[in-house]
Structure 1
Amino acid sequence: MSKVLEGIRVLDFGRYIAGPFCGALLADMGADVIRVDRVGGSEDRFVMPVTEHGDGAVFLQANRNKRSITLELGSDEGRRVVRRLVESADIVIANMPAPTLTNLGLDYESLKAIKSDIILVAPSAFGDSALLRDKIGFDGVGQAMSGGVYLSGYPDQPMKSMVPVVDFATAIACALGAVAALYERNRSGEGQKVESSLLQTALNFSSGYLIEEQLLKLDRQASGNRSQSYGPSDIFKASDGWIIVQVIGPSMFKRWAKIMGRPELLDDPRFADDELRGQNGSLLSELMAEWCNKRSRNQALQELATAKIPAGPVYSPAEVHADQAIANSGAFVWLQHPQHVEAPYVAAPLNLSRTPLEITRHAPLVGEHTEEILSEFGFDAEEIKDLRHNNVV
C-alpha cells in the first residue's frame, strides 16, 4: 500500500521534541526520514533514559520510523557531507537558533543555494522577530509567557503542564506546514521556509482568554481545576480515586441537576447560564464533591455516563496502560528495540483511512544506518572509511 509521502526524503537535524516529532509524523506518512546525530549521540537522546545504552523515553517516541547517521557538523568535511545529503533531499528539519543555523549552513538561503526547491522546517522557541529571536526557551517557557500558566494552578502557585504539550503541538503544526509546502511545490516548483514557535503555539492555546481580557478586562485569576466559564467543571475525589467532570450548556446542566437530586438549582439566578455557573462554580463544585465522595470512581462515572455528562477517570501513567479499552483502540504500537526492550510507541494523533500512518521501525541507535545512508548518497567505501578515520561520522 502506497503512503502519502512515499518517495519524499527528509533530513532531520532536530533536537528534543518540536523538530524530531515533526519528522516522526512525516515518517509515519511514509517519508524516508534521516536523523542526523552527533558523533556519540545528541543530547536529546539521553533524557529520561529507558534502555540499556541510555536512550530516552521521549527520544523513542519522537524518532520512530527514522534512520540515523552520525555526523560532525562543525567540520569542513562534515559540511561537505551535508551538502551531498541536501542535494537529494526534499525537506530539512532544524530547530536551532537562527545564528546556529547560519553557522552550520542550515539556514534557508544556504540550503536553497544547494537545492532550489528545498523546504526548510525551522521551529524555534520565539520566532524570528527582532525582540524575541535571540531568547532561549523550552516548552515550559512558552507556556509561562502565554498566560496559560498564570491561569492554571492557584493564585499563590501557578502551574505549568507537566507534559510538554506546546512542544508536541508545535511539531504537529510544523508537520502540517511541511505537507502544505510540499503540496504548493507541486504547483510552483519552488520550496520555502516553514516556521512555527513554541510561544505562538502557546498563545494559540491561550487565545480565548487573551481575546476576552483585551475586550472585557476581567483580570481572571487562577482557580485550580475549576472552570470559570461554565460549571460544574472540576476534578473531584471519589472514594477510590479522582475523576474529571465537565458540564457545559443548559441541557447538560439540567441533566446534572437531576442526578444530583437538586431540581431547584435550575431556577436559581446564580446558575442561569454558563457564565454565571462559572462565576459561582465553587458552589457547584462543593455539591459535586459531596456527591462523588459517596461513590466509587466507577460508580460515579457510570451514573454520569447514563446522564450523558462528560466525565472520565484521572489516570496515572500505570492506569493508562492498564485500561483495556485504550489498549484495544490501537493507541500503542509495541516494537522490539535492539537493546532487548519492547517499547510502547504511541500512535500518531491522526490517521488516514486509505493511506494509514504506521509505526514500523524502532527509534534508531546512534549512527545505526550511517554506512547504508552514505552509500545511498553516492559515497564509496574508501570515502566512508576516511570519514570514520577523521571522526566526521
Structure 2
Amino acid sequence: MAPHSDPLLPLDGVTVVTLEQAVAVPLASRQLADLGARVIKVERPDGGDFARAYDHAVEGTGAHFVWLNRGKESLAVDLKSVEGRDLVLSLIRRSDVFLQNLAPGAAARLGFGSDELRANHPELVTVDLSGYGSGGPFEQRKAYDMLIQAESGLISITGTPDAAVKTGIPTADIASGMYCAQAVLAALLRRFRTGEGASIEVSMLEATVEWMGHSLYTQMYTGEQPQRMGVSHVSIAPYDAYPTADGQILIGVQSDGGWNALTDVLDIPELRTDPRFDTNIHRVENRSACDAVVAEQTRRFTTADLDAKLAAAGIPAAQIKELRDVAAHPQLAARDRWRTVGTEHAQVKALLPPATFSDSAATMGDVPALGQHTAALLTELGVDDETVSRLRSAGVVLCH
C-alpha cells in the first residue's frame, strides 16, 4: 500500500493494520507511526476504540486517545459482518504487520488468528497482545492495567509502609506496548534478511514482571519481600524527599563520593567519617539517623537555592514538579520538544518521541476522527462508490 511518510523515516513503506483498543497496542502502533509506518486502525462504527470516550479533556477529545493515536488512519467497519471482515482481510493481505489486543480468542473467532493469517501470507508479522498469554489458568481472565499491576507484584512494592498503591501511569500497559513495538522492529529486521514473517505473543503480566527487576530477584534469593518505601529506596541512603525552608527536595546519593560531596554542601564534613554513615551499607543500616541529619540541614535552604547548590556539586537532586510545571519544563522548551497535531476538534500540543534521529524528524500526524479514512481506504481497495454507499447504509462501515 502507498506510504504516506517522509522517505528518510526508518519505517517508510511499512503498513500496519491494528485491531486495537485502550492503551497497550495503541501505544505500540503509535510508536511505529512516529517512525514512519502507515498505521490503519480498525474501529467499531458504534463508538470505535472505547478510549475515545474515557473523557473529553483535550479540546473535546479523550486524553488517552490523543496521546496514543496520532498519525493513524481510522477505518470504521463492523467486523460482525462478512463484508466487513473481508474488507479488513484485504487490507491485511496488502500489509506488513498486524497487531491486536482484543479479548482472548476474539480475533481468531473473527478470522484474524495469527496462524490463519500467516498461512496465506507467510511474510506477515503478527502480534497478539493479551493480559496473561495463551494457555494457563489465567488465560481468560480480565486484564486491565490495575489488575496486572496487582498480579505482577508491582502494587505490593509501590506506596508507603502504610498503604500500597498502583502507579500513577498505566505501567503494565506501557511495558507491554513497548515490548510489542520492540518485537515488531526485530521481526521486520529479520524479515528483510530472510523474507519470513513472525507470529509474536506479548503478555502484559510477563512484561510487567520483567520490569520488577531487582525487587523480584531480592525476594527470590533472600526470601524477603522488599518494603514499600514511598520515594525512598530500599538499598540506598540518603535517598528521599527532604524538607526545605519553603517545601521539599528529592536527593538521591548513590555512592560514598556523593555522600562526601553532600556533606560539603550541607556543611557537615564531620559526618564523612562517622561510622554510622561512612559507607552506603552503614547509611542504610542507620537510615533514620542519616535522614534526620540531612533533613536538619536541608531545611536551612530554600528549595531553589538548595537545588542549584546540589546541581553545581554534581549531587543528584530534583524538585517535585506538578504537571503544569512539566508542561512548561525549561529543558523540554530548550530542546524544542513540543509540536502541534490536529484532532477533530482543535490543534493540540504533542511531545516528540524520546528517540531522536539526527537525519529525520518523527512523523507527527493528526489524531483521526472515527471513520475519517474509511472512504479513502475503500477506494484504495477498489470498492466502487455504489458499493461504499450500500455498505454505509447497511451500517457495515462508517464514513466520517
Question: Normalised by the shorter chain, which TM-score bucket?
Answer: over 0.9
Give the number of aligned pairs: 390
1:118-129 map, 5 Å? 118-129=124-135
Aligned to 1:362: 366
Percent identity, aligned pairs only? 29
Distance 2:183 2:255 in 1: 35
Aligned to 2:313: 307
What is the Cα deviation at residue 114 of structure 1? 4.0
Q: Aligned letter for 1:352?
A: F
**Alignment CA distance shift 1:76-1:217 (3 Å):** same
* Matching of residue 170 in structure 1 with residue 173 in structure 2: no
**Alignment CA distance shift 1:382-1:312 (3 Å):** same
Distance 1:104 1:241 in 2: 56
**Alignment CA distance shift 1:46-1:192 (3 Å):** same
Aligned to 2:255: 249
Answer whether contact 1:227 1:278 (CA < 8 A) is retained.
no
* Matching of residue 46 in structure 1 with residue 56 in structure 2: no
Which deviates further from its counterpart, 5-14 or 97-106? 97-106
Aligned to 2:3: none
| SS state at 1:264 partner | helix
**Alignment CA distance shift 1:279-1:100 (3 Å):** farther
Which deviates further from its counterpart, 90-99 or 135-144? 135-144
* Matching of residue 346 in structure 1 with residue 347 in structure 2: no
* Matching of residue 385 in structure 1 with residue 389 in structure 2: yes
Which deviates further from its counterpart, 126-135 or 367-376? 126-135
Distance 2:310 2:237 in 1: 15
| SS state at 1:36 partner | strand
Aligned to 2:4: none
Answer whether contact 1:117 1:189 (CA < 8 A) is retained.
yes
**Alignment CA distance shift 1:71-1:172 (3 Å):** same
Aligned to 1:59: 65
| SS state at 1:253 partner | helix
Distance 2:309 2:34 in 1: 39
* Matching of residue 32 in structure 1 with residue 38 in structure 2: yes
1:209-220 map, 5 Å? 209-220=215-226
Distance 1:387 1:219 in 2: 58
1:110-259 map, 5 Å? 110-259=116-265
**Alignment CA distance shift 1:125-1:297 (3 Å):** same
What is the Cα deviation at residue 210 of structure 1? 1.0
What is the Cα deviation at residue 58 of structure 1? 1.4
Q: Aligned letter for 2:75?
A: I
Answer whether contact 1:152 1:223 (CA < 8 A) is retained.
yes
Distance 1:63 1:388 in 2: 24
Distance 2:293 2:55 in 1: 41
Deviation per CA, 1:350-390: give whole Å up to 9, x if none.
1222244231x221011111101111122221221121111
Aligned to 2:92: 86
Distance 2:355 2:167 in 1: 22
**Alignment CA distance shift 1:342-1:85 (3 Å):** same
**Alignment CA distance shift 1:114-1:132 (3 Å):** same
Which deviates further from its counterpart, 326-335 or 59-68? 326-335
Distance 1:336 1:242 in 2: 38
Distance 1:279 1:13 in 2: 52
Q: TM-score, normalised by structure 1?
A: 0.93
Task: Tell me the C-alpha RMSD between the 2 structures.
Answer: 1.8
**Alignment CA distance shift 1:241-1:121 (3 Å):** farther
Q: Aligned letter for 1:388?
A: R
| Gapped regions of structure 1 (runs ≥ 5) | none
Q: TM-score, normalised by structure 2?
A: 0.92
Distance 1:95 1:147 in 2: 23
Which deviates further from its counterpart, 307-316 or 292-301? 292-301
Deviation per CA, 1:104-132: give whole Å up to 9, x if none.
22220121134222111222212224122
| SS state at 1:210 partner | helix
Deviation per CA, 1:200-259: give whole Å up to 9, x if none.
222122120111221122333212211121111112343444432111011111111222
Distance 1:362 1:154 in 2: 40
Distance 1:8 1:249 in 2: 46
| SS state at 1:226 partner | coil
**Alignment CA distance shift 1:64-1:229 (3 Å):** same
